[in-house]
A and B are shown apart, each in its own frame.
Chain A
Amino acid sequence: MKIRIVMPAMLAIAALLGACTSMPRTTSLLDQTHVEYRAAQNNTDVGSHAPLELKQAGEALALADTAAANRDSAERIDQLAYLARQKVALAQEVGKRKAAESDVASSGKLRDEMRLAQRTNEADRARLATDAARRDTAEANARVSALEAQLADLAAKKTERGMVITLGDVLFAIDRHELNEQGMDTVRKLSQFLQQHPARNVLIEGFTDSTGGASHNQQLSERRAGAVGRSLSDQGIDRKRIEMRGYGQQYPVASNATTTDRQLNRRVEIVLSEDGGRIKPR
């Protein structure tokens, strides 16, 4: 019978198969996949972010291991190992992706905080700059007010040649060029002003009425201008800043018909320049 002939051959094969059961079959691909799977298990990103993908890879690897234990063909084991290996790699990629996404979430918060800090900083600096500008303006205004107050105190009037302070006849001794006490007082205020504004200069012009001779009036007007100028320089104002002229009875400001008018014409005018300015003579 056929079976009796075949039997010994089959017994031999059975013995061979029997010998194989003590040696589980594996392939290099399966071994490699195991190595990669262990690495994925040890990767904290994979464990925390891709547990599902890791589990699926583990299940696929178990199928490959079962095929190896069952001594399936190397081809079959490799097919299953390949699938497992790709799934292990996928678990790694998912771990990377989610770790990066979580980075983006926390870094995004940090960046927003930094932007806020930056903007707050800019707002603070802008505010400080505005405050400083306001202070500067306030100081400038205060200086202008102080100046205006001083000029008002000196009864200065604005003309096209500059501010003009008029020292009337009453500030001089009668028909003399010396300044009386009140006159000295005015000159003292003027010298204070000039000390506070070192860049300003003065032109002192003397005038008389039309009584008396022309040359007498010319001399008197020059002497009066000179008295004011000397008084200023005595109080410490640099002579270079002081110019003095007499015009005698020229340039009257009133008629010479009445006593009052004539008194008005008897005057000294002090022209104040702007900072560093020169004053045009008449």
Chain B
Amino acid sequence: MNLNFRPWVALTMLCAATMLGSYGCSSMKTPATADVAVSKAAVDNAAGADGAEYAPVEMRMAREKLALANKALADKDYQLASQLANEARADARLAQGKANSAKAQAAAEALESDIRVLDEELQRIRK
């Protein structure tokens, strides 16, 4: 904050901004609705990638926050709805990421195991 401003002007502006935030401008409604929609898609994608199986904590948080975001949307608290939606999306994407990496690692391990078996077989033959 620039100290050259007269303090009371700065404070008034701060108060106005806070008031606007808590009452929710209608211009924030469309982006908030969009955020929630995108987050729902993210949660669905994560579920489809077996997120619940491999990252249950993140999936649960994502679903809870999405529900809260929808509620905030209904309550016209658009700033809150957006924030919750963004967090839900981050959680869902992380859940999906964990599921995918777990599956890829399982595939790599299965292949390592195959190779070990083949190696033993080849050693045995060569003896």
Q: How far is the CA of A108 from the CA of B91 in the complex (A)?
A: 33
- A118–B7 CB distance below 8 A: no
**Closest CB of chain B to A10's CB: distance in Å?**
5
Q: How far is the CA of A90 from the CA of B121 in the complex (A)?
A: 40
- B3–A18 CB distance below 8 A: yes
Q: Which of B86, B104, B118, B125 is A101 in contact with, Cβ under 8 Å? A: B104
B94-112: contact bitstring with A at CB < 8 Å (1 yes, 0 no)? 1001101100110110011
- B100–A93 CB distance below 8 A: yes
**Closest CB of chain B to A96's CB: distance in Å?**
4
Q: Known contacts A6-B8, A86-B91, A100-B108; decide if A14 and B3 are in contact (CB<8 Å).
A: yes
Question: Taking the complex as formed, is A184 at the interface, i.e. its CB lies under 8 A from any CB of chain B?
Answer: no
- A93–B97 CB distance below 8 A: yes
Q: Known contacts A83-B86, A100-B104; decide if A108 and B125 are in contact (CB<8 Å).
A: no
Residues of B43-98 whose CB lies within 8 A of A: 83, 86-87, 90-91, 93-94, 97-98
Output the nearest chain A residue to B119 by Cβ-Cβ distance. A114
B122 — which chain A residues lie within 8 A by C-beta? 114, 117-118, 121
**Closest CB of chain A to B79's CB: distance in Å?**
11
- B115–A82 CB distance below 8 A: no
B107 — which chain A residues lie within 8 A by C-beta? 100-101, 104
Q: Known contacts A83-B90, A100-B107, A108-B111; decide if A114 and B100 are in contact (CB<8 Å).
A: no
Output the nearest chain B residue to A91 by Cβ-Cβ distance. B97
With a 10 A CB-CB cut-off, give which of A13, A70, A90 has the most chain B CB atoms: A90
Q: How far is the CA of A63 from the CA of B90 in the complex (A)?
A: 15
Counting residue pairs across A and B whose Cβ atoms lie within 8 Å, the total is 90
- B8–A118 CB distance below 8 A: no
Question: Taking the complex as formed, is A97 at the interface, i.e. its CB lies under 8 A from any CB of chain B?
Answer: yes
Q: How far is the CA of A21 from the CA of B10 in the complex (A)?
A: 15
Question: Taking the complex as formed, is A103 at the interface, i.e. its CB lies under 8 A from any CB of chain B?
Answer: yes
Q: How far is the CA of A110 from the CA of B98 in the complex (A)?
A: 27
Question: Taking the complex as formed, is A74 at the interface, i.e. its CB lies under 8 A from any CB of chain B?
Answer: no
Question: Taking the complex as formed, is B20 at the interface, i.e. its CB lies under 8 A from any CB of chain A?
Answer: no
Q: How far is the CA of A163 from the CA of B25 in the complex (A)?
A: 120
B1 — which chain A residues lie within 8 A by C-beta? 17, 21, 70-71
Question: Taking the complex as formed, is A115 at the interface, i.e. its CB lies under 8 A from any CB of chain B?
Answer: yes
- Give residues in B with beta carbon < 8 Å to A: 1, 3, 7-8, 11, 83, 86-87, 90-91, 93-94, 97-98, 100-101, 104-105, 107-108, 111-112, 114-115, 118-119, 121-122, 125
A21-B1, A101-B104, A125-B125 known, 20 other contacts, Cβ within 8 Å: A14-B3, A14-B7, A79-B87, A82-B90, A90-B90, A93-B101, A94-B101, A97-B104, A100-B108, A101-B107, A103-B108, A107-B111, A111-B111, A111-B114, A114-B118, A114-B122, A118-B118, A118-B122, A118-B125, A121-B125
**8 residue pairs A–B, Cβ–Cβ below 8 Å:** A14-B7, A21-B1, A79-B87, A87-B90, A93-B94, A93-B100, A96-B101, A121-B125
- Give residues in A with beta carbon < 8 Å to B: 3, 6-7, 10-11, 13-14, 17-18, 21, 70-71, 79, 82-83, 86-87, 89-90, 93-94, 96-98, 100-101, 103-104, 107-108, 110-111, 114-115, 117-118, 121, 125
